[in-house]
Chain A
C-alpha cells in the first residue's frame, strides 16, 4: 500500500472526487427516497478547505450540483449537518429566527481519547490493535441497545478515519427526535461518569437494569483477552494500584501481598475477585457488583453527549478523508465487527494508486471525456479496496429503501380502506 503523504492531499483529493467518491449512493442516502420535498436541498454541509478555511451552510440542488461543487472546492474535510427550514446557502436571506434546524440523524461519536485513563498502550490520537477492542465492544454494546431496546432499524457505523467510530441512526422517526430525547438516549446508554478528578466512575444500583446486564455479558466475552492479556491491567504495581484505588482500603494490603505472589494479570484478577467477595468488605453492595464496576470502568463505551444531543451538530461525513491519516471514513460491516481492523482501511493514496494501476490497463478506450468519466467512475471504485465498503453502504441503502416501500404500502393501504 502506498504510504500517505499529507503534502499530496490536494492532488489526491482531485482524483478522489473525480473518480472515486460514491456520489450516487451518497445522494441516494441523503435524499431518502425523495419522499419529503427539498430534504436534500435543505441539508447543511460544511467544507474545510486547504489552509483550514472552514465554510458552513453549504447546500446543493441535486447530485450533479453536489458533485460539481465538491470537485470545484476540493474540500479536505466534509461534515454533514441538519436539514433546515430553508436552503442553508440562502440562510442570510431568511427572516431572523425563521431559519431553523429541523431534522437530523441521531449520531454518536466514540473517541479513543476518552479512554486514556484506562488504556496503557496508547494515548491521545494514537490507536493500536490492543486498544481497538474498546471500539469493538462499544459497537456491539451500543448497536445492540439501539436495535433491541430502542427498535432503531437503520444504523450506519463508520470508521472516523483516525481514532474512533461514528454511528448514524437514520430511521425516519429518529430524524425527527427532539434534543431532549436525544440527550435522554445518551443518558440511557451511559454508565461511566466523572472526569479526571473522579477515581471510581461506575456505580451500579442494587437492581441491575437489563441494558446493563446485557452490556456486561458482551464485555465478559472480551474482558480476559482485552484487559488481562492485551492491556495487562494488573501487570505491575503501577498498574494494579490504579485498580486498587477502586476497591475498599480494607483489602489493599492483603491484595498487594497476593499480587506479588502471582505472575500475571489473569491470576491476579482471580485474587481480586476472591478478595472482593470475601467478608472483609462492609459495603451494602460488595462482591459481584464491585467486580462488574471495575470491568465496566475499563471497558464500557464512553459517549460524548454534545455530539448526539444537538440537532444542528455537524459530524464528519462517511467517505470523507482524514487529512492527518489519509484514511477514508468507511462504513463498518456489522456482521464483521470483530474482524474490522482500522489499519487495513484504505487510505486515499492507496486507492488512488490502485486506480492508477487500473487506468493504465484501461488506456486506449475512447469516448468523450464526460461519458468515459462516468463510465470509469462506476467501475472505478469497484476495482479498488473501497469496493467492499461501498457494498456495505449499499446494503444499508437497500434496507432504507425496503423500509420506505413498506411504509408507503402501509399508508396506501390505509387510504384504500377509505
Chain B
C-alpha cells in the first residue's frame, strides 16, 4: 500500500454523480474511496463509526436482534450519528459517503490482530444484517445485482446442502435461494470478503503506521474502543504482596506458578522470566510500587546489592509499566505468545510447561501439584496432541475440582481471573477480552511532537493519498 506522494487521484463529485456513486443505502464496501479528505474529517468519521459499532455491540447484547426494540433503537443510533440507513430517503449521499469512508478507515485500525478483526467483522455484519432487514423486497434484487453476487440460480450439484433437505426451490436443475435465506448467504459472502480484506490490510499496515499523521489516530481508535483489557488497572491495588504465595498455588496457571516458585527458590529470574511473570503480575493487579517492592525484596534475598537493583532492574520494571522511555505500556503475554516465541533455555523458567517441559518432568511436576493420575494422563495425552492450552484447561479443572472450566483458555491472566471467580464467587464478572500484543502509545511527549506538525496543517485541507488502497481491496 503506497501512502507516499506520487500520483494523487482527485475526484470532485457533483450533482447527479453523487446519486450514482452510492445507489444503495447499504453497501458491500467493495471499492475503497478515492477522494481526498482532511485529517479532521478522517478522524471524525472514524470516531463516529466506532461509536456506531459500539452501539451495535451493546444493543446486540441487550436485546434480541432482528425484532423490536432492537430495530428501532439501532435505527436511532444510525440516525443520530448520521449514517445511511433508509433506501427511500431523498438525499442520502452524505450519510452513504460517510458510511463508505469510515468503514475503510476502520479497516486500517482493526486489521491489526485477530481479536480486533473478529470484533470488527462481527459488528459490521450485524450492521449489514440490520440494514438488509429493513430493505424493501424490490430494492433487495437491485442491491444484490449491483453487488455482483452470483447466487440466484445455482446448479443443483453445487448446492448439495441446500437442496438435499429441501431448503430451497429446485427447478430445471437449479437451486433458487429464497429471499430470506439470501441474507445468510450475503452475510457469509460479506464476512469472507471482509476477512480477506483485513488480512491484506494488515500486511500493508507498516507503511500506514509509518505515516505519522495516521499512526496515533489509528492506534488510539483500536485501543480505546475494544473494551476491557488486562492493562487497564481495574484490579490495581486489590492484591497484596503477602497473598502471592498462596495465590500462586491456587490461581496461577502452571507457567506462572513455576516462575514464582523459581523466583522464591533462586531469588532471581532471568530476563525472559521477569518479562513473562512481571507483566502477568501487573495484569493481576500489582501496582508499580508493589511490583518494585516485590522484585526488590526477592532479589535482595539473593544477596543482590539494593543499589544495583535500583540502577538496573527497577528501571526495567518501570519501563514495563510504561513509565520510562517509549512509555509503551506493555501487555501481559498471551498463551500463544508464550508458546510460540522465546523458548526457554538452560536456566530459564519461562515458557509454557505443557509446551516446553519434557513429558517426564511435566508428569513429576503435576504429581507434586497433587493432580490425580487419571488427570495427569489426560493432560499428557493432550500435550502429545499439541493441545497445550486445553491441557492447561484440564489442569484448571483438576485443581478447582470442576468438570468443565467453562472458558477457552488463551491468556494466563484469564486463568487467574476465572480461578478467582470460582474461588470468590466474584460479582463483578465481565468477560474481559484479551488485549492484543501491539504496544499502545500513551499520550506522551512523542505524540505531541507529531501532532503539532500535523496540527500545523489542520486548518488547510490536508490531502491524503488513498491510491494504492484499491489494489489491496479488489479481488
Binding site for B on A (CB under 8 A): 148-152, 173, 177, 180-181, 183-185, 187-188, 209-212
Q: Is the CB of B172 within 8 A of A184?
A: no
Closest to A211 in B: B166
Q: Is the CB of B170 within 8 A of A149?
A: yes
- In whole angstroms, what is the CA distance A151 to B172 when docked? 4
Which residue of B163, B171, B172 contacts A188 across the interface (Cβ within 8 Å)? Answer: B163
B427 within 8 A of A: no
Chain B 162-195 interface 0/1 with A at a Cβ cutoff of 8 Å (1 = within): 0111100111111000000000000000000000
Closest to B157 in A: A181
Q: Is the CB of A151 within 8 A of B160?
A: no
- In whole angstroms, what is the CA distance A152 to B170 when docked? 12
Q: Is the CB of A148 within 8 A of B166?
A: no
Q: Which 4 A-B pairs have the closest CB atoms?
A: A151-B173, A184-B164, A149-B170, A151-B172
Chain B 141-158 interface 0/1 with A at a Cβ cutoff of 8 Å (1 = within): 000000000000000110
Given contacts A181-B157, A188-B164, A188-B165, 6 further A-B contacts (CB under 8 A): A149-B172, A183-B164, A184-B163, A184-B164, A185-B164, A188-B170
Q: Which of B164, B165, B166, B172: most chain A Cβ within 10 A?
A: B166
Which residue of B157, B160, B161, B171 contacts A149 across the interface (Cβ within 8 Å)? Answer: B171
A180-B160, A181-B160 are known contacts. Are A187 and B165 too (CB-CB below 8 A)? yes
Q: Is the CB of B156 within 8 A of A150?
A: yes
- Residues in B with CB closer than 8 Å to A150 are 156, 170, 173
- Residues in B with CB closer than 8 Å to A209 are 166, 169
- Residues in B with CB closer than 8 Å to A188 are 163-166, 170
- In whole angstroms, what is the CA distance A101 to B215 when docked? 60
CB distance from B441 to the nearest CB of A (A): 53
Closest to B173 in A: A151
Which residue of A148, A177, A210, A212 contacts B172 across the interface (Cβ within 8 Å)? Answer: A148
- In whole angstroms, what is the CA distance A150 to B170 when docked? 7
- In whole angstroms, what is the CA distance A180 to B157 when docked? 9
Binding site for A on B (CB under 8 A): 156-157, 160-161, 163-166, 169-174
- In whole angstroms, what is the CA distance A211 to B174 when docked? 14
Q: Is the CB of B170 within 8 A of A211?
A: yes
Q: Is the CB of B160 within 8 A of A212?
A: no
A-B pairs with beta carbons under 8 A, tally? 40
| Interface residues of chain A: helix, strand, loop or mixed (majority) | helix
- In whole angstroms, what is the CA distance A148 to B166 when docked? 15
Q: Is the CB of B164 within 8 A of A210?
A: no
- In whole angstroms, what is the CA distance A272 to B157 when docked? 41
- Residues in A with CB closer than 8 Å to B163 are 184, 188
- In whole angstroms, what is the CA distance A263 to B358 when docked? 85
- In whole angstroms, what is the CA distance A180 to B156 when docked? 12
- In whole angstroms, what is the CA distance A103 to B170 when docked? 24
- Residues in B with CB closer than 8 Å to A210 are 169
Supply 28 A–B pairs (Cβ within 8 Å), ascending by A: A148-B171, A148-B172, A149-B171, A149-B172, A150-B156, A150-B170, A150-B173, A151-B156, A151-B171, A151-B172, A151-B174, A152-B173, A173-B157, A180-B160, A181-B157, A181-B160, A183-B164, A184-B161, A187-B164, A187-B165, A188-B163, A188-B165, A188-B166, A209-B166, A209-B169, A210-B169, A211-B166, A212-B166
Q: Which of B157, B171, B172: most chain A Cβ within 10 A?
A: B157
- Residues in A with CB closer than 8 Å to B172 are 148-149, 151
- Residues in B with CB closer than 8 Å to A211 are 166, 170
A209-B166, A211-B166, A212-B166 are known contacts. Are A184 and B160 too (CB-CB below 8 A)? yes
CB distance from B366 to the nearest CB of A (A): 45
CB distance from B48 to the nearest CB of A (A): 41
- Residues in B with CB closer than 8 Å to A149 are 170-173
Closest to B158 in A: A181
Closest to A187 in B: B164
Which residue of B157, B170, B171, B174 contacts A177 across the interface (Cβ within 8 Å)? Answer: B157
- In whole angstroms, what is the CA distance A181 to B161 when docked? 9
- Residues in A with CB closer than 8 Å to B171 are 148-149, 151
CB distance from A231 to the nearest CB of B (A): 28
- In whole angstroms, what is the CA distance A173 to B172 when docked? 14
CB distance from B179 to the nearest CB of A (A): 14
- In whole angstroms, what is the CA distance A211 to B169 when docked? 8
- In whole angstroms, what is the CA distance A185 to B157 when docked? 9
- In whole angstroms, what is the CA distance A210 to B166 when docked? 9
- Residues in A with CB closer than 8 Å to B165 are 187-188
Closest to B172 in A: A151
Closest to B178 in A: A207
CB distance from B165 to the nearest CB of A (A): 7
Closest to A184 in B: B164
Q: Which of B164, B165, B169, B174: most chain A Cβ within 10 A?
A: B164
- In whole angstroms, what is the CA distance A151 to B174 when docked? 8
CB distance from B299 to the nearest CB of A (A): 65
- Residues in B with CB closer than 8 Å to A185 are 164
- Residues in A with CB closer than 8 Å to B161 are 184
Closest to A180 in B: B160
- In whole angstroms, what is the CA distance A180 to B158 when docked? 11
CB distance from B182 to the nearest CB of A (A): 16
Closest to B170 in A: A149
Closest to A177 in B: B157
- In whole angstroms, what is the CA distance A184 to B172 when docked? 16
CB distance from B251 to the nearest CB of A (A): 49
- Residues in B with CB closer than 8 Å to A183 are 164
- In whole angstroms, what is the CA distance A173 to B174 when docked? 14
- Residues in B with CB closer than 8 Å to A212 are 166
CB distance from B266 to the nearest CB of A (A): 60
CB distance from A309 to the nearest CB of B (A): 12
- Residues in B with CB closer than 8 Å to A187 are 164-165
- Residues in A with CB closer than 8 Å to B160 are 180-181, 184
- Residues in A with CB closer than 8 Å to B173 are 149-152
CB distance from A93 to the nearest CB of B (A): 34
- Residues in B with CB closer than 8 Å to A177 are 157
- Residues in A with CB closer than 8 Å to B164 are 183-185, 187-188
CB distance from B365 to the nearest CB of A (A): 47
- In whole angstroms, what is the CA distance A148 to B160 when docked? 17
Closest to B169 in A: A210
- Residues in B with CB closer than 8 Å to A152 are 173
Closest to A186 in B: B164
- Residues in A with CB closer than 8 Å to B169 are 209-210
CB distance from A100 to the nearest CB of B (A): 20
- In whole angstroms, what is the CA distance A177 to B157 when docked? 8
- In whole angstroms, what is the CA distance A212 to B167 when docked? 12
Closest to A205 in B: B166
Closest to A173 in B: B157
- In whole angstroms, what is the CA distance A388 to B461 when docked? 88
Closest to B161 in A: A184
- In whole angstroms, what is the CA distance A211 to B156 when docked? 14
- In whole angstroms, what is the CA distance A187 to B160 when docked? 10
CB distance from A176 to the nearest CB of B (A): 9
